[in-house]
């Protein structure tokens, strides 16, 4: 164990690729700053081991008892000399034995769910991640559609109208789902209410001119009120109280010009509420 002279922490060894990376200092700079400090670098280990072998000293062997020599390579400068050869660590051997048993138990027992009647090949990664339901590449493969189903899909893409029987089925399914209170845009039957007789284009133009032909909420100019086809559209005039009977029966006008975006947001309950 060695004490670092910069942070005064006790470390196993002080190396360039280890503890000195935290301080962004090379081993040479550390030696210049603290020449009398106890320090161990993996390069010194590598050089000393080569000298040790040149002097006729015994070689380093694997600790598992296989009597095989550990060959020192360049990466040992940064990682250190290993105690075991690759795959000879007893802890990892136990796991590999369990994985082999797992593969033997599950081979030729799991069919692919796509309908190809092929067995899934069990891999070593399945021990950790789990066995998949389908073979790789079979995710989009399924049971073949009938000719009638194919023709219906192709007719739908060609904008050919549906049969009366399919229309009746769809109408039965959709009936009552979005009616009245179930619809998020429901305002208590306001849409069926007729407009006042005095609701004319001349009135709408006067309200647009009052607000200088700009949106009341976002301030967008009428020239920028464009459709998807880049056509200029007039600002729509909105009833603040959602009451179409304004102007009749002694009710006052509460009208505001709005652009397309703000008007659609208001009617879908996502926009800013305007208090008249």
Question: Which residue, 79, 106, 137, sits at the end of a domain?
Answer: 79
- 257 three-state secondary structure: strand
DSSP sequence for 112-152: -TTSS--BPPP-TTHHHH---SS-TT-SS--PPPPHHHHHH
Domain that holds residue 99: 90-129
Q: Does residue 75 sit in the same domain as residue 6?
A: yes
Considering the domain architecture, whether residues 67 and 10 belong to the same structural domain is answered as yes
Q: Is 10 helix (H, G, I), strand (E, B) or coil?
A: strand
| 198 touches 251 (CB < 8 A) | no
Beta-bridged to residue 119, according to DSSP, are 111
73 shares a domain with 15: yes
Q: Is residue 170 part of a domain?
A: no
Q: Per the structure, how many domains does the chain have?
A: 3
- Domain check: are 72 and 20 in the same one? yes
pLDDT (tens, 9 = 90+) of the chain, 276 residues, equals 677 777 877 776 777 667 777 777 877 777 778 777 665 555 555 566 566 666 655 677 888 777 888 776 656 655 666 788 877 777 766 777 888 889 999 998 888 887 788 899 999 888 888 888 888 877 655 567 788 888 888 887 787 777 888 888 888 888 877 777 777 666 666 666 788 888 899 999 999 999 999 999 889 999 999 988 889 999 999 988 878 888 888 888 889 999 998 888 887 776 666 665
Q: Is residue 60 part of a domain?
A: yes
Which residue shows structure tokens 């040479």? 28
> Do 68 and 10 share a domain, yes or no?
yes
Same domain, 51 and 96: no
**Is 136 part of any domain?**
no
Name the token pair of 89: 């660590």
In a domain, 273, yes or no: no
Q: Examine the domain organization and report whether 217 and 246 are in the same domain.
A: yes
Q: Are residues 105 and 59 in the same domain?
A: no
Which H or E run contains 154? helix 147-157
**Is residue 140 domain-resident?**
no
Based on the fold, state whether residues 6 and 58 are members of the same structural domain: yes
Contact 269, 185 (CB under 8 A): yes
Q: Are residues 69 and 15 in the same domain?
A: yes
Cα Rg of the chain, angstroms: 40
213: domain CATH number is 3.40.1800
Domain boundary among 52, 79, 106: 79
């Amino acid at each position: 164990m060695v004490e670092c002279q910069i942070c005064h922490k006790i470390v196993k060894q002080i190396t360039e690729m280890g503890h000195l990376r935290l301080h962004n200092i090379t081993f040479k700079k550390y030696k210049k700053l603290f020449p009398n400090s106890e320090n161990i670098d993996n390069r010194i280990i590598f050089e000393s081991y080569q000298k040790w072998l040149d002097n006729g000293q015994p070689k380093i062997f694997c600790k598992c008892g296989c009597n095989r020599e550990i060959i020192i390579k360049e990466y040992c400068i940064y990682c250190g000399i290993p105690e075991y050869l690759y795959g000879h660590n007893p802890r990892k051997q136990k796991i590999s034995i369990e994985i082999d048993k797992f593969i033997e138990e599950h081979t030729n027992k799991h069919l692919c769910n796509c309908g190809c009647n092929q067995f899934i090949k069990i891999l070593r990664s399945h021990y950790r991640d789990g066995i998949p339901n389908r073979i790789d590449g079979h995710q989009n493969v399924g049971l073949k559609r009938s000719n009638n189903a194919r023709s219906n899909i192709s007719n739908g893409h060609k904008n050919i109208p549906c049969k009366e029987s399919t229309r009746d089925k769809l109408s039965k399914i959709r009936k009552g789902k979005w009616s009245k209170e179930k619809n998020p845009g429901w305002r208590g039957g306001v849409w069926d209410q007729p407009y006042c007789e005095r609701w004319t284009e001349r009135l709408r133009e006067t309200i647009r001119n009052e607000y200088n032909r700009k949106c009341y909420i976002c301030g967008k100019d009428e020239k920028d009120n464009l459709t998807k086809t880049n056509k200029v559209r007039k600002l729509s005039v909105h009833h603040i109280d959602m009451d179409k009977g304004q102007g009749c029966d002694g009710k006052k006008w509460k009208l505001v010009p709005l652009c397309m975006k703000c008007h659609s947001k208001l009617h879908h309950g996502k926009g800013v509420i305007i208090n008249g």
